[in-house]
Chain A
């Protein structure tokens, strides 16, 4: 990722595009986290270990993802 380009883009004049990009980054991060938590569970990681990796308690990560399975 070209960080200089990101910096230049953030100072773009169109708030509609910039704000949408901000939300899109949030979405991307959420999807990466959800997919990686599912992968970690499939590999036998405990909720405690996943919580440690994400810097949150095992309760919060469990509460967020325990219903993710379709």
Chain B
């Protein structure tokens, strides 16, 4: 699987949002953040290959960051609760699917990432993983996606230079 195929693979922005929302629900978050957008993209094996990180690895990294932060305020690592089960997300969600879904609202940063990723597209119902990654790449700590990618030692700017820029700008 090449990184170029990641950039070309078109998906529905609502699919990215609903999948990210499921990741947020799974973790117990009330809002869908930029870190959940990273997890949503990693559900695609070609994105996993491009970033050289698996979805379970990214989930574990977020858990480790939480445990580290909790440890800093004196809450021990033995205090935990299992994550919730993921539910299926349709590849082509309809407005009815989205409205009936008990989705977690986007954080302002995550909303901006998705909106900016879709903006150059003629069809606002289409976005590529490369476009979303390009918007995530400009985020800086303490943005949750930037913190997660730093913990995973992923240099998104480097990954993006390997992507086909022409397909990013479609």
Contacts and interface: CB of A to CB of B under 8 A. Distances in A.
A18 B147 CA distance: 14
> Would you call the interface of chain A mostly helix, strand, loop, or mixed?
helix
Interface residues of B, number: 29
Contact of B74 (A6, A34, A67): A6
Given A26-B28, A28-B81, A67-B102, A9 B74 contact: yes
Contacts of B87: 70
B75 A25 contact: yes
Contacts of B70: 21, 24-25, 28
Contacts, number: 86
Contact of B72 (A21, A23, A30, A64): A21
A35 B74 contact: no
A8 B74 contact: yes
Contacts of B66: 20-21, 23-24, 27
B99 to A, nearest CB: 13
A10 B101 CA distance: 36
Interface residues of A, number: 34
A31 B65 contact: no
A1 B81 contact: no
A53 interface: no
Interface of B: 27-30, 65-70, 72-76, 79-87, 101-102, 141-142, 147
Interface of A: 1-10, 12, 14, 16-21, 23-32, 34-35, 64, 67-68, 70
27 contacts: A1-B74, A1-B79, A5-B73, A6-B74, A6-B75, A9-B72, A9-B73, A9-B75, A12-B72, A17-B73, A20-B69, A20-B142, A23-B66, A24-B67, A26-B29, A26-B30, A27-B28, A27-B29, A28-B28, A28-B79, A28-B80, A29-B28, A30-B30, A31-B83, A34-B84, A35-B82, A70-B86
